[in-house]
Structure 1
Amino acid sequence: MTVLCLHPTDLDPYFNLATEEYLLKRFTDDIFMLWRSESSIVVGKHQNALAEINHRYVRDHHIKVARRLSGGGTVFHDPGNLNFTFIKNVDRLEDVNFKVFTQPIVEVLQKLGLDAYSTGRNDLLIGGKKISGNAEHVFKKRVLHHGTLLFNSQLEKLRNALKVDLSRFEDKAVQSNRSDVTNIAACLPHPMSVDEFARFIFEEVAQSFPKRQFLNFSDDDRQAIRQLRNEKYSQWDWIYGYSPKYKYRNELATANGSLVFSLHVEKGKIKESHWEGAISANLSRKLSEKLVGINHAEEVLQPVIYELKTDLETEHIFADRLLERLV
């Protein structure tokens, strides 16, 4: 079977994730794609997005948050990271395993003099440190497998963006396993740029297919992908609203003592809240009424909390400090 190969240059993570779904569901060929995105955090399909990110760091550093079609843990994308995607038709889904897709990547890395290997799980390592995380999604009898390749990614940015206090969240979402990571560039016996690395990976993998064809999207293809990007992948309802239901707990020290609260969130919206400690019954009721039905997001919570600023400060609760604790 002919394998379609493409190496798009668009750095928009939402467009790239939409491209994967479009290729999976609208094409019937086997496919290999190599791509990159600007700085972004990409959570797995079944994860609680808010529980995976340091949302203030992400906001302040203009890092996009996205949700992909596959399960598994959270990964970090930036232009120093490559993403590879394989889409394959299969007769028996039970015969497909990660090694079918990761082994070609391992072999290409080894051609560069890298001692890369798979742990048998969903990652690739060099010297005991992770360079690649992988995940899969099945649609009918087509398997989408994709993974990262940290080449010269901003690892400190990665660590800070994914630093979060999980003790605040109670849910049944898939949680990421944090691993020690390293950049491939630091392990190469001979230096090369990320563009040189990308060309090498793409050409070597493409040449491994006896029958290959290089794919260029038509205007209709790009329009359909753009529509999927705009209507799904860039939308709050998909990125945050698709998260499993969860309970968020936190507390705030006030001049009157400790204020303890919890938010019950479903599909990204606050269904109910509970307030205890240094707060009057009347203010507790007002907060509960105002918060119900709104998105658990700082930009949505801010005007609601500021509306109650006078009531809050009467009880020595500062609106800004409460807002910081609410997300």
Structure 2
Amino acid sequence: MRYIISENTDAYFNLASEEYLLKHTDEDIFYLWRNDNAIIVGTNQNTLSEINVEYVKEKEIKVVRRLTGGGAVYHDLGNINYTFIENSKKSFNDFRGFCEPITKALNELGVNAEFSGRNDMTIDGKKFSGTAQCKYKNRVMHHGTLLFSSKKSDISGALKPRDIKFTGKSVKSVASRITNISEHLESPMDVLEFRDRIMRSVAGGLDNITVFDAIEEEKIKKLREDKYSTWEWNYGQSPKFSMTKEGRFTGGTVEVTLDVQKGCIENIRIYGDFFGTVNIHELEEKLIGVKHQEQNVLDALKEVTLADYMVNVQNEELAGLLF
């Protein structure tokens, strides 16, 4: 088995590195890595229904889609992520088997950690890790979070979506009581010492730890640029969904209902008690086919005189209702 520790804290790079290791290597792997502030959404999720858009913008939190299913999770530098990639030694559904080396390492530190439910690890009933898996050919990738000293306020703030009505086939995250591992240690340590203790337990020491070589770095960086840092992957891959949102502005109440498919506005209806001199359906038609991204919507609205359709409603106010 190859044992890897990444010092790179860029979420785009680290998610790309997982795909590279899964699809372009053939050895068994155990990998530890950290992300600076990021929300990692499951492959089947609607990104916008999982995040607090304003909070994400304000805190400059990256949003990245992963290869595995399950719910959205928040990463910061107080969280260690682990990844196992194995050549079908275990059943695809054997979450417990993959988690056992982690709970064992924590037990060695005096932490009462155990596998719980379908795919979680807990301490005294409180969740510190959510795990997920996927399969590529004969290789299974299992990964999970290890909340060590994460900021709980950021976790709740970033993952709390705004009051929007969403419908669709995406998988929703489930809120759980969480805890940090650092609160349960017999002796204090920092997050990097904790990371090394986990690696030492799983690998049997630190003498055979590797890093990415120059060729691997370049291939991962290309995958980062071509896929993991793109809007198309992180937002445009969301399943088809519908949403409804209402706002009250100087020009009146506005309610927007829209359908989004493959990241673009497929249908949109605008209702309200606003006034205008041109039929609102003309504006709706101009927005169909526009990429469901705030800047793209604002660019489309710049091509029209919004006051013709909605007196005293600003471009930014209408665009804000679409997200």
TM above 0.5: yes
Residue 120 (structure 1) aligned with residue 117 (structure 2)? yes
Give 2:322's aligned residue.
Answer: 326
What is the SS of the residue equivalent to 2:15?
Answer: helix
- Name the CA distance, whole Å, in 1 between partners of 2:126 and 2:90: 33
1:164 pairs with 161, 167, 176, which one?
A: 161
Shift of 1:92: 7.1
| Percent of pairs with identical residues | 40
Provide the rounded CA distance (Å) in 2 between the counterparts of 1:314 and 1:88. 58
CA shift at 1:165, angstroms?
3.6
2:232 paired with 1:234: no
Q: Choose from 266, 269, 275 the match for 2:264.
A: 269
Unaligned runs of 5+ residues in structure 1 are none
- Provide the rounded CA distance (Å) in 1 between the counterparts of 2:166 and 2:255: 14
Equivalences, count: 322
> Residues of 2 paired with 1:43 and 1:261: CA distance?
25
Which residue does the alignment assign to 1:34? 32
- Structure-1 separation of matches of 2:108 and 2:277: 68
How far off is 1:254 after superposition?
Answer: 4.7
Partner of 2:96: 99
What SS does structure 2 have at the residue aligned with 1:147? strand
Q: How far 1:65 moved relative to its partner?
A: 0.4
Q: Deviations over 1:42-88 (max 9, x none)?
A: 00001001111001110111100000011110011111100000001
Q: TM-score, normalised by structure 1?
A: 0.92
| AA at the equivalent of 1:97 | D
Q: Where does residue 195 of structure 1 map in the other structure?
A: 192
SS in 2 for 1:82: strand
Runs of 4+ deviating beyond 6 Å: none
Shift of 1:326: 2.0
RMSD of the TM alignment (CA)? 2.2
> What is the distance in 1 between the residues matched to 2:89 and 2:161?
41
Supply the distance in 2 between the matched residues of 1:312 and 1:115 (Cα, whole angstroms).
64
**Are residues 1:63 and 2:61 paired?**
yes
Superposed, 1:279-294 pairs within 5 Å as: 279=274, 282-294=278-290
Q: How far apart are residue 213 of structure 1 and its match?
A: 4.8
Q: In the alignment, does 2:254 pair up with 1:259?
A: yes
In structure 2, stretches of 5+ residues that fail to align are: none
Aligned ranges for residues 122-141 of structure 1 at < 5 Å?
Answer: 122-141=119-138
Decide whether aligned partners of structure 1 residues 309 and 118 sit closer, same or farther in structure 2, where only a CA change above 3 A counts: farther
TM-score by length of 2: 0.93
Q: Which residue of 2 aligns with 1:4?
A: 2
Name the CA shift for 1:115/1:284 in 2 (closer, same or farther; >3 Å).
same
**Any idea what SS the aligned residue of 2:321 has?**
helix
